[in-house]
Amino acid sequence: MDWLPVGFSLAILVTWYVVVTWHDVPEFILPSPVKVIEELIGSWDLLLEHTLVTISEAFLGLFISIVLGTAIGFAMGYFETFRRMVYPLFVMTQTVPLFVLAPLFILWFGFGILPKIVVVFMVCFFPIAVTFAQGLVQSDSGMDDLLSVMGATRWKIFRISRIPQALPHLFSGLKIAATYGIVGAVLAEWVGAQKGLGVFMTRAMKSFRTGVLFADVLIIVLLSMLLYKAVEWVERIVCRNITNGGKIT
C-alpha cells in the first residue's frame, strides 16, 4: 500500500480542520471534517436509502456500457470501415453537454430509472469503446506478421495477439468509466428524480445544510473509489501475464 497519498490526504484534512476552527468559519459556509462525519452518522439511514438508488442506476448503466462498449470497440478495431464511419459520431456525442441531453432523456423516457441509466451509459460508453479500439489498432505488428507467416487467419491473429495486447487499454477505459459512473447518475438525478444522492444533494443545498452536502459528496467519492479499485483488482487478475505496455511476456 502506498502511504504517500494517505498521508497527504490526512494532512489536507488536518489543515481543513485547523483553518475552520481557528477562523471560526460558519458551518453553512464550510463545515469542519468532524461536522461532516457527524452529519454522515446522523443522516445515515436517509443517506443509505438515496445511495442504494444511485448505485442501482450507476451499476446498470455501467454494465450496459461495458457490454456495448467492448463490442463496439472490438468492431471498430476489427473493421476499419466501421471505425471510420462511427468514430466521428462518437466524438460528436461527447461534445454535447449532458445538461442539454439529460432533460431530453427525461422528456423521452419519463422520470423513472431509464433516463438515469441512459446518462450513465453516455458518460461511460465512450472511454471503453475508444480505448479498446485503439489498443486493437496499435498492437505489435511484429506479432501479427509472425502469426501470418505461420498461417494464422485474421481472426486468429486478433484472438491470439491483438486482444491480449489490447486488454490493458480496455481496462484503462474501464477505470475511467468506473469513476464517471456514479457522477453520471448523480448528474441525471439533478435534472429530475425522486430519490438518489443527486436529489439529496439538491435538497441539502436549498436548506443550507452544508455538512450534509459534504457527507453526500463523501459517499460519492467513496463509491467512485471502490468501483475504481474493483476494476483495478480485476485488471491485475486478467492482465497478470501482460506487461511492458501490453506486450505478451
pLDDT along the chain (249 residues), means of 10: 82 91 87 91 91 94 95 92 89 80 81 88 92 86 69 77 88 93 89 85 87 93 94 89 47
Q: What is the pLDDT of residues 150-173, one digit of tens each?
A: 767 777 878 877 888 889 999 999
How far is it, in rounded angstroms, from Cα 116 to Cα 234?
Answer: 26
Q: Where along the chain do its domains lie?
A: 1-30, 41-248
Q: Residue 183: CB partners within 8 Å, gap ≥ 6?
A: 123, 220, 224
How far is it, in rounded angstroms, from Cα 168 to Cα 138?
Answer: 12
The per-residue pLDDT for 71 is 96
Per-residue cell: 141: 505488428
The per-residue pLDDT for 246 is 42
CB 139 within 8 A of CB 165: yes
Per-residue cell: 65: 456500457
CATH class of the domain at 41-248: mainly alpha
Q: What is the pLDDT of residues 165-218, one digit of tens each?
A: 889 999 999 999 999 999 999 988 887 778 889 989 888 888 888 899 999 999
CB 218 within 8 A of CB 36: yes
Read off the pTM: 0.85
The per-residue pLDDT for 242 is 63
The per-residue pLDDT for 248 is 37
The per-residue pLDDT for 29 is 87
CB 16 within 8 A of CB 32: yes
